[in-house]
Amino acid sequence: MLSFRNALTNGIVDAKALQYHLKDIVDEDAGETKIWSTNSSVHFPKLPAGVPACSLFATSPPGEKQRGRENEPEFVGILLTLVRLVEQETDVLVAVNVPHIVGQYGVEEVRLEEGVRGGLVERAERVMERVIGSFEIREWELFVN
């Protein structure tokens, strides 16, 4: 496993780091996770200027261990944002998971191939925007060098 220090030394860019963290979060039994879009310049207004942040939207099918349960999602939308604190040698991740359960969302309103994510993901994006707009670090001493 690649450490954060090695990732910095080897020049892994933020989008690659974000994909690395996504792999760590998603259930490996779930099948192929698809990344639909990325944004390499997310601005956190309450963090110092120049703090790199990026985001992605991906989908993942449910994991094997969950299949067959009542209310099993057909797929899960994943909004993932990475804040890279280089001097503190750490990453902060913000994740919003959006399960899509048949009968609880309009299947016809989700056309991911066309960039149409549907109402559930749009609401989740508004949640993510509120988190990004309000996120701040008040005690930098929490991060040990």
Domain range list for the chain: 4-138
Q: What's the pLDDT band for 16 if we cut at 50, 70, 90?
A: confident
Give all strands (DSSP E) within the chain, no chain letters. 34-39, 53-60, 75-85, 90-100
Cα 7 to Cα 2, 17, 20, 92: the distances in Å are 6, 8, 10, 15
Task: For 33-59, write each residue's pLDDT tens digit.
Answer: 899 999 988 999 999 998 999 999 999
Task: For 105-142, write each residue's pLDDT tens digit.
Answer: 998 999 999 999 999 999 999 999 999 999 999 999 88
